[in-house]
Amino acid sequence: MYVECFLKRKILTEECLLSSGYDSQLNYFLTFLQVERGLAKNTVDSYRYDLEQYAHFLKNNGFNFLEATQGIIFNFLDYLREQNRSARTRSRKLAAIRSLYRFLLQEGKIKNDPTENITSPRLEKNLPRVLSVQDVDLLLSQPNSGTVLGLRDKAMLELLYASGMRISEMLGLDTEHLNLEMGFVRCLGKGSRERLIPIGKVACRYINEYLSHSRLKLRKKSFVRAVFLNNHGRRLSRQGFWKIMKGYAYRAGIQKEITPHVLRHSFATHLLENGADLRAVQEMLGHADISTTEIYTHLSQGRLREVYEKAHPRS
């Protein structure tokens, strides 16, 4: 397996170098992310975007990746600040640069990591937007499950809220990923990490109905593995789902800005408010680090404060 990955990385790297004028170290690193770490294409593209901007800055200042010093990286961060880039953006770009230099150090391309003593910009803790249980009920009641597309939309919204899946994970589902008898869905998340997520009876019911009726009509007699299909019998896109969700939010009269990720945030928050274990929520969300999940405890504590202030006579 190791030899296979090494050969695949070598072939892909050579192809990259032949087909583009990018810095060889950058191509080598991106191929490592794709082949050995198994990162999704969107994630690798994000690394590429950030590191190409850094490479352009280095080139304009007469440096390359291997020659850069801690001072040069500080200059790059200052440049981003002057461009009014947010602390979150600067932190993300620094994380990409740090990953690159750790890789180059591991590969013996450099002797010292120039990012070793650079701390990330302090981020403001922006709590994620969530819907109330009442707003979720209102949103999920909008699709007309008596129609082909309405039943599909009902199944998607119920599944998204029942599982807390990312929209890309839900739309990437194939029929073999569903085990509705046991009430589970098999999900392939970030970094190709697989997890099993339990889903409730309501979601299972509407998914079953969709598979038995709407999907057969949308499939148009062609073989397709995707669970959720568009009018042309192909896998539904993120943009397609986005439009569908915005339409139902507008019909429901919900004033808050709603995105697919808001349902994911709502799923986690509502579970914790009702006593779910933090580790269990971490597993269901597919967070590698529990500190990412802990942000939802702040939301729950905020809800407790709200209840206290309304209910306690001396609040």
Residue 179's nearest CA partner among 158, 151, 208 is 208
Catalytic site residue from 48, 93, 264, 265: 264
Q: Is 226 helix (H, G, I), strand (E, B) or coil?
A: strand
Whether 177 is catalytic is no
Supply the angle between the helices 148-163 and 260-273 in degrees, to the nearest 10. Answer: 50
Beta bridge partner(s), residue 174: 226
Side-chain half-sphere CA neighbours of 182 within 13 A: 9
Whether 264 is catalytic is yes
Check if the beta carbon of residue 185 is closer than 8 Å to that of residue 286.
Answer: no
Whether 312 is catalytic is no
Catalytic site residue from 217, 220, 251, 261: 261
Whether 166 is catalytic is yes
Spatial distance between the Cα atoms of 148 and 216, rounded to a whole number of angstroms: 10
Cα distances from 211 to residues 9, 42, 152, 220, 306, in angstroms, run 40, 29, 9, 13, 42
Residue 33's nearest CA partner among 21, 54, 19, 16 is 16
Catalytic site residue from 81, 98, 190, 213: 190
Helix (H) or strand (E) holding 251: helix 238-252
Whether 298 is catalytic is no
For 25, other C-beta atoms within 10 Å of its C-beta total 20
Catalytic site residue from 166, 215, 265, 270: 166
Looking at the annotation, which residues are catalytic? 166, 190, 261, 264, 287, 296
